[in-house]
A and B are shown apart, each in its own frame.
Chain A
């Protein structure tokens, strides 16, 4: 028998008995990092495009992040921006222009130099990207052009304050591609790209694999990495394995070294087989409920407050999500820079929920559902079937709020309808989240100057959200962002419930898979313990 049946049998036995034993974590010292080897990583999907500026799915970002470098890097612990391709940067007073000084001697893997002109070519071309280029387009909103002052100095200008641009420069979305790649059409770039990162794309087979090879001579790593030189691994194979049972089995049997998209039920078999579970909450807006305030129910503060009070977040997390997941405690997830804990404003209190509704004239009817002037308290919650946990979460919330007499009606829609639904305002309440490692995501969601999908009335929140976007001082900005979070939660403009958490299953002999500030992965420092 080439492979031992034992891990699989143990895994099956544990998953069948579903016992809640503590995860077995490896405590042995892995020793000194060893170079070499191939990391095999199974992800669930392929976006069909290998241009980091055009992809938005984590499964694809995981591989393409390793192919491009960014101007800056963001410290996942503090949210601070650190040097990478740019050694320093400054902004003008109103945050509408940014000047970068680039590191010298960086080349793309096709041999061309990475200089100020190459960066300008990248930012200019973002405007011409098609429907797939929404992430970089968002970061470059109001872009008026880039001035090249010297081969290592450039200034990016906007027609309005744009604080989030700086954080955008640390993401894969604004990763710098070679001028030859940038000159191609967006469709052509989907098939092949050239970057300056620690790995290059060796091969891409649609729906099957993206294979990366170490870039020899790489010497300009992020200041956040353990070593600035070449990557430790020789190769990384990203295999597309859509079926979760096969992914879990592949890891448990040693066919792959790491897997993404772990569900709660996958954990026990994996930890029993000795695998590590790595998790980090996605920064940005946590999963929660936001109301359309142009509807009578959404405009009723008592209804919004009662829904918030009636949700038992701890139960939702424990029942539906992986063990790495935490309840949401603010309008921002805890991993977002500028996050301020508002847990005190988010209690689970059924009695208070009842009295809030009583006071507002929503009285219990014969069937237990409250009503006011003959109108039942029936709230329609629209949700999207893009994540398997969504259904279980909203169904549990439906049961929870039913206890205080709120009749939550669930309306499922495909994710393709999310934008049209929001634009048309065709919803009463909506379940969703957004990943972004910058608090400006609040402005895009809750400022009445923007899309204002939730039809909020103009108010003091608008002022706060506009102020933070133009405040270059990080401490001062954080203070304003904290006020905005407090107001948003206090007035229940959003009801945060759970922090979406990226969870990976990793073989015991793999070390140094690091989460970046956006909860994507960095594989430069990754290595395998040789047997």
Chain B
């Protein structure tokens, strides 16, 4: 692996982060609506404040300055990890995001585990079995799982397993039992994606000449499948890891809502709902950082799996 290859990847990552900050800034400030007026409308219940009081509030949150000045200040602060304070409750944006990370990480890791388990099993069995009907059935599963609305799956699971049978807790984030239903809900569509990609590359790999060679050497079917084909087919599956992480993050919005778990998804929904500009921007940049990190990791692992990549690029 050359240092040049890594440096280029790193620079690209920084560029993506800067773009995320800038685009979110532009979008948030060009959005119609006024965060201070939103807060000051008192929800459904109050009379709006007179304009002079609104102006005082804008000054307090620094929203009265020229847009470029605001941009410069916020960018400088963001470089030190400071994204300001939430307009909604005055909480420091960084600690608000870090505070909801543990439950979101739990659910994402558990969801990923379900996804890999479900997706891997379906792909392996579908490509291994000689029964045509089973193969067709399994190959149809991913499309079905992808097309089911996540919130519907979640609601059905909670109705049956929590309210109906009383086997598992319906809501909350306490203990491993509370993790089961959300993880299954989150893992199904993501697992479907994994199954589709893996099954396709497995079928391809099984047609490669080295499989024929291995077979001629007397390696058994299962051995070919697991030791030879799967190793090669894993690379394309790894490539979609970034996409899978995106799936998990997006899914967390729904899953956290249905299962009443605190987390990044709930935080995002609340922040967007009241146009809490500093918080929304903090979340956008954070999400971009996660993607950048995942893709950077994939980029680094790639040449380790396939030395040709680092050498030729």
Are A and B co-members of a single complex? yes
A253 contact from B42, B88, B166, Cβ within 8 A: B166
Complex: A416 Cα to B32 Cα, angstroms: 9
Taking a contact as CB atoms under 8 Å apart, the answer to whether A419 and B57 are in contact is: no
Known contacts A134-B41, A134-B47, A245-B155: A208-B166 contact under CB 8 Å: no
Closest to A187 in B: B90
Taking a contact as CB atoms under 8 Å apart, the answer to whether B47 and A48 are in contact is: no
A131 contact from B47, B87, B100, B159, Cβ within 8 A: B87
A-contacting residues, B183-237, CB 8 Å: none
CB distance from B292 to the nearest CB of A (A): 27
Taking a contact as CB atoms under 8 Å apart, the answer to whether B91 and A138 are in contact is: no
B43 contact from A12, A46, A56, Cβ within 8 A: A56
Known contacts A239-B171, A243-B260, A249-B170: A422-B155 contact under CB 8 Å: no
Taking a contact as CB atoms under 8 Å apart, the answer to whether B90 and A185 are in contact is: yes
Type the 1/0 row for A131-167, where 1 means its CB is closer than 8 Å to any CB of B.
1101101100000000000000000000000000000
Chain B hits for A205, CB < 8 A = 262
Taking a contact as CB atoms under 8 Å apart, the answer to whether B47 and A138 are in contact is: yes
Of the stretches A1-9, A77-85, A174-182, A467-475, the one at the interface is: A1-9
CB distance from A44 to the nearest CB of B (A): 10
A-contacting residues, B137-184, CB 8 Å: 151, 155, 158-159, 162-167, 170-173
Task: Tell me if A130 counts as interface (CB < 8 A to partner B).
Answer: yes
Taking a contact as CB atoms under 8 Å apart, the answer to whether A48 and B89 are in contact is: yes
Taking a contact as CB atoms under 8 Å apart, the answer to whether B166 and A433 are in contact is: no
Closest to A432 in B: B44
Closest to B271 in A: A48
Taking a contact as CB atoms under 8 Å apart, the answer to whether A187 and B40 are in contact is: no
Chain A hits for B266, CB < 8 A = 207, 242
Chain B hits for A246, CB < 8 A = 155, 158, 170-171, 258-260
Known contacts A206-B262, A419-B38: A435-B171 contact under CB 8 Å: no
Known contacts A190-B89, A208-B260, A246-B260: A132-B166 contact under CB 8 Å: no
Chain B hits for A45, CB < 8 A = 270
Complex: A5 Cα to B266 Cα, angstroms: 30
B166 contact from A1, A386, A418, Cβ within 8 A: A1
Complex: A386 Cα to B44 Cα, angstroms: 8
Taking a contact as CB atoms under 8 Å apart, the answer to whether B44 and A435 are in contact is: yes
Closest to A6 in B: B164
Taking a contact as CB atoms under 8 Å apart, the answer to whether B270 and A208 are in contact is: no
Taking a contact as CB atoms under 8 Å apart, the answer to whether B165 and A132 are in contact is: no
Closest to A188 in B: B90
Taking a contact as CB atoms under 8 Å apart, the answer to whether A419 and B34 are in contact is: yes
Complex: A191 Cα to B89 Cα, angstroms: 8
Taking a contact as CB atoms under 8 Å apart, the answer to whether A419 and B163 are in contact is: no
Known contacts A1-B166, A2-B166, A3-B166: A8-B159 contact under CB 8 Å: yes
B45 contact from A12, A56, A242, A252, Cβ within 8 A: A56
Taking a contact as CB atoms under 8 Å apart, the answer to whether B158 and A249 are in contact is: yes
Chain B hits for A1, CB < 8 A = 165-166
B-contacting residues, A426-457, CB 8 Å: 433-436, 441, 444-445, 451
The size of the chain A interface, using a CB distance under 8 A, is 62
Chain B hits for A436, CB < 8 A = 45
Chain A hits for B173, CB < 8 A = 208
A-contacting residues, B96-137, CB 8 Å: 99-100
CB distance from B97 to the nearest CB of A (A): 12
Of the stretches B18-26, B48-56, B65-73, B296-304, the one at the interface is: B48-56
User: Main SS of chain A's interface residues?
Assistant: mixed
Task: Tell me if B35 counts as interface (CB < 8 A to partner A).
Answer: yes
Complex: A47 Cα to B164 Cα, angstroms: 31
Chain A hits for B267, CB < 8 A = 207
Taking a contact as CB atoms under 8 Å apart, the answer to whether A243 and B155 are in contact is: yes
Task: Tell me if B39 counts as interface (CB < 8 A to partner A).
Answer: yes
Chain A hits for B85, CB < 8 A = 187
Complex: A138 Cα to B41 Cα, angstroms: 11
CB distance from B205 to the nearest CB of A (A): 42
Task: Tell me if B86 counts as interface (CB < 8 A to partner A).
Answer: yes
A-contacting residues, B219-278, CB 8 Å: 257-260, 262, 266-267, 270, 274-275
Taking a contact as CB atoms under 8 Å apart, the answer to whether B89 and A49 are in contact is: yes
Chain A hits for B34, CB < 8 A = 416, 419-420
B163 contact from A253, A423, A451, Cβ within 8 A: A253
A134 contact from B32, B49, B162, Cβ within 8 A: B49
Complex: A423 Cα to B53 Cα, angstroms: 14
Taking a contact as CB atoms under 8 Å apart, the answer to whether B164 and A416 are in contact is: no
B-contacting residues, A202-224, CB 8 Å: 205-208
CB distance from B224 to the nearest CB of A (A): 46
Taking a contact as CB atoms under 8 Å apart, the answer to whether B155 and A418 are in contact is: no
Taking a contact as CB atoms under 8 Å apart, the answer to whether B162 and A422 are in contact is: no
Task: Tell me if A415 counts as interface (CB < 8 A to partner B).
Answer: yes
Taking a contact as CB atoms under 8 Å apart, the answer to whether A49 and B41 are in contact is: no
CB distance from A195 to the nearest CB of B (A): 18
Complex: A138 Cα to B40 Cα, angstroms: 11
Closest to B158 in A: A246
Taking a contact as CB atoms under 8 Å apart, the answer to whether B270 and A252 are in contact is: no
Taking a contact as CB atoms under 8 Å apart, the answer to whether A243 and B257 are in contact is: yes
Chain B hits for A307, CB < 8 A = none
Q: Which 7 A-B pairs have the closest CB atoms?
A: A187-B90, A3-B166, A131-B39, A56-B43, A48-B89, A416-B38, A253-B163
Give residues in A with beta carbon < 8 Å to B. Answer: 1-3, 5, 8-9, 12, 45-49, 56-57, 130-132, 134-135, 137-138, 185-188, 190-191, 205-208, 239-243, 245-246, 249-250, 252-253, 255, 386-387, 414-420, 422-423, 433-436, 441, 444-445, 451
Given contacts A243-B151, A414-B33, A423-B48, 16 further A-B contacts (CB under 8 A): A1-B165, A8-B164, A12-B159, A47-B89, A137-B53, A185-B90, A208-B172, A208-B173, A239-B260, A246-B158, A250-B163, A253-B162, A419-B41, A422-B48, A435-B45, A436-B45
Q: 24 A-B Cβ contacts within 8 A?
A: A1-B166, A47-B88, A57-B43, A134-B41, A134-B49, A138-B42, A138-B46, A190-B90, A191-B91, A208-B173, A241-B260, A246-B155, A246-B260, A250-B171, A386-B44, A414-B33, A415-B44, A416-B33, A416-B37, A416-B41, A420-B32, A434-B47, A445-B47, A451-B47
